[in-house]
Chain A
């Protein structure tokens, strides 16, 4: 059974701080890694994806992948109250079906 683990939170950070969200996965054959943001009552929307070890930056967001340790993280710099949401990590290993974590709730307080 492929598993993706995330701390459910909530993770609470002050406005302007760096929020660090972590995800571990069990399948060593995993190849693609995705972060989705989901606001309450809304559907998930893709924020970032990463395929290779290392860092990938997009604006205030940085995804970090370490395949040897089987974890992927998402850093949000200069966190804003509008970043308050649940962040879902998803992992695929070459099949059509991603495995989703249950998500981490992030609260950015003014």
Chain B
């Protein structure tokens, strides 16, 4: 079974802090994704990566950056956290185009 592991289930940070969310997958998947999910808004894609050191902006990249130095790890960075970034963050991976995504357990991030 594919395992996607997110570093924290719950995280509380202060406004202005730099926040790192880590995601690791163990199935040698090419593609990795970061989403945020808010009530009534569904899943919104922040960034995705289709290869090491490659990244593409999703629908809502503002205020975020990503890093993929190794194939199995995809990090999401909040450069200067703001209260409107309080959300559930979901990492996913897939083996290729048109393949299903496998999600991590999610990180519920609160910015105070």
Contacts and interface: CB of A to CB of B under 8 A. Distances in A.
Interface of A: 31-32, 34, 42-46, 49, 51, 88, 90, 92, 94-98, 100-103
Contacts of A31: 98
B104 A43 contact: yes
Interface residues of B, number: 23
Given A32-B98, A96-B97, A97-B58, A43 B42 contact: no
Contacts, number: 48
A96 B42 contact: no
B86 interface: no
Given A44-B90, A96-B97, A103-B42, 10 more contacts: A31-B98, A32-B99, A42-B105, A46-B100, A46-B101, A51-B98, A88-B43, A96-B94, A97-B45, A98-B101
Contact of B105 (A43, A94, A98): A43
A35 to B, nearest CB: 10
B58 A45 contact: no
Nearest to B33: A97
A32 B96 CA distance: 12
Interface string B20-58: 000000000001010000001111010010100000001
A100 B42 contact: yes
Contact of A34 (B58, B97, B100): B100
